[in-house]
Amino acid sequence: MRDRIEILPVSLLESEKSTIDELKALAVELKLEFGWHYLLDLSWIIRQLDNVNGQKMIDAGAGTGVMQWYLANKGANVISIDRESRANLAPKFRRRFQVAGLRENDLRDGSGSSGGINQSSLKTRMADLVDAVKYETKTRARSADHGNTGKVIIYNQDLTELNDIPDDSIDTVVAVSSLEHNSPDGLEKVVVELLRVLKPGGAILATLGAAKGEDWYHEPSQGWCYSEATLRRIFDISSDAPSNYEQYDQLFKSLMDNEELKDNLASFYFNSGNNGMPWGKWDPQYQPVGMAKVKSEE
Ligand SMILES: C[S@@+](CC[C@H](N)C(=O)[O-])C[C@H]1O[C@@H](n2cnc3c(N)ncnc32)[C@H](O)[C@@H]1O
């Protein structure tokens, strides 16, 4: 892999169709929905991964997003990091994957022993149970083909302070649309810390928001859009490493005109004006960019 910067082209929807179909199927099973550009982000990152079976990976700013579950299905051991606590991770994830906390308090006992049971929680539990049985039947068949399922280790922690992770210990870091929730100064600290824990020769594969000119903050999604100069400086990408920022306008036009993304917005966009696509109106204000940064071997 080489260092590079790539604004994500909508052609990924076609070229990575089999990965995208797999991601969609997993999302249905887990009852998750995708952010408006996430299929581009996920498929761009996955395209660059070799066999991850047995790899020690970090999903940086993972939330409960699809990437960590996808990687665990492929046999990776994933440290799932987010400053938002997942200590009360939903049973649907616990039943289907090997999940543990990195520290004692990172994952609470999932017994849900909070007292009485009402009708609606009983219904939800029954539905979860039926889904789990269906899923296990499918994955048993699948794991016979693809080997073991990896683990997801929950670590509720800020990415600037990964005190429990030793230097040079991680094969690959992935970050799906998460690092842009840091100011340029904050992002700089995050990248330093991710490079510290990465093995020499390992890579960060991250997607963020791109800005044509100056860095700017997109209030509704609470995310930054970064210029090429800022990304090169923060990720320490040399001036001869490739970038397609010169095609910014053309790529943005293809994104705006893309019917597939436009017609498949997740339901949550229609519920509020405070998101990346306020009230479900197709009106992209920025475009996603992928960063590949390989840690030097020296
Ligand atoms: C838009 S969500 C994306 C979640 C996930 N990657 C996905 O694909 O659904 C961004 C997440 O990044 C996390 N995040 C951003 N900056 C972080 C930081 N410095 N430390 C820990 N988590 C961070 C946020 O808490 C949030 O959960």
Domain ranges of the chain: 4-105+119-294
Closest ligand 1 atom, residue 176 Cα: 6
Between CA 216 and CA 103 the distance in angstroms is 36
Q: What are the CA-CA distances from residue 182 to residues 117, 127, 179 (Å)? A: 40, 37, 6
What pLDDT score was predicted for residue 276?
80
Q: Which residues pair with 173 in a beta bridge?
A: 58, 204
Does the beta carbon of 177 sit less than 6 angstroms from any atom of ligand 1? yes
Using pLDDT thresholds of 50, 70 and 90, give the confidence band for residue 109. confident
- Structure token digits, residue 12: 């990924």
**Which burial class, exposed, middle or buried, applies to 137 when counting CB atoms under 10 A from its CB (0-12, 13-18, 19+)?**
exposed
Counted residue by residue, the chain has a size of: 298
Does the beta carbon of 83 sit less than 6 angstroms from any atom of ligand 1? yes
Nearest CA to ligand 1 atom 3: 178
Q: Ligand 1: distance of its center to the CA of 75 in Å?
A: 23
Kindly report the average pLDDT of the chain as a whole number: 90
Does the beta carbon of 194 sit less than 6 angstroms from any atom of ligand 1? no
Does the beta carbon of 205 sit less than 6 angstroms from any atom of ligand 1? no
Share of the chain above pLDDT 90, in %: 82
Q: Which residues pair with 154 in a beta bridge?
A: 80, 101
List, as own/partner pairs, every contact residues 139-143 make where C-beta atoms lie below 8 angstroms and the sequence separation is at least 24, other chains included: 139/73, 139/96, 142/73
Q: Ligand 1: distance of its center to the CA of 180 in Å?
A: 9
Does the beta carbon of 208 sit less than 6 angstroms from any atom of ligand 1? no
Q: What b-and-e string marks burial along 169-185, b requiring 16 or more CB atoms within 10 Å of the CB? A: ebbbbbbbbbbbbbeee
To test the ligand 1 pocket, which listed residue (33, 158, 178, 274) has its Cβ within 8 A of the most ligand atoms? 178
157-200 pLDDT, tens digit each: 999 999 999 999 999 999 999 999 999 999 999 999 999 999 99
221-251 pLDDT, tens digit each: 899 999 999 999 999 999 999 999 999 999 9
How wide is the angle at C-alpha 205 spanned by C-alphas 203 and 211, nearest 5°? Answer: 130
How wide is the angle at C-alpha 217 spanned by C-alphas 221 and 27, nearest 5°? Answer: 25
**Which burial class, exposed, middle or buried, applies to 38 when counting CB atoms under 10 A from its CB (0-12, 13-18, 19+)?**
buried
To test the ligand 1 pocket, which listed residue (181, 188, 193, 224) has its Cβ within 8 A of the most ligand atoms? 181
Q: Report if pTM > 0.85.
A: yes
Q: Ligand 1: distance of its center to the CA of 179 in Å?
A: 7
DSSP state, 237? -
Does the beta carbon of 101 sit less than 6 angstroms from any atom of ligand 1? no
Topology of domain 4-105+119-294 in CATH is Rossmann fold (3.40.50)
What pLDDT score was predicted for residue 282?
95
Nearest CA to ligand 1 atom 23: 61
Nearest CA to ligand 1 atom 13: 61
Residue of 177, 174, 152 lying closest to 86 (CA atoms): 152
Does the beta carbon of 176 sit less than 6 angstroms from any atom of ligand 1? yes
Between CA 224 and CA 183 the distance in angstroms is 7
**Residue 147 contacts residue 72 (beta carbons within 8 Å):** no
113-149 pLDDT, tens digit each: 444 445 555 555 555 555 555 555 554 445 444 445 8
What pLDDT score was predicted for residue 149?
86
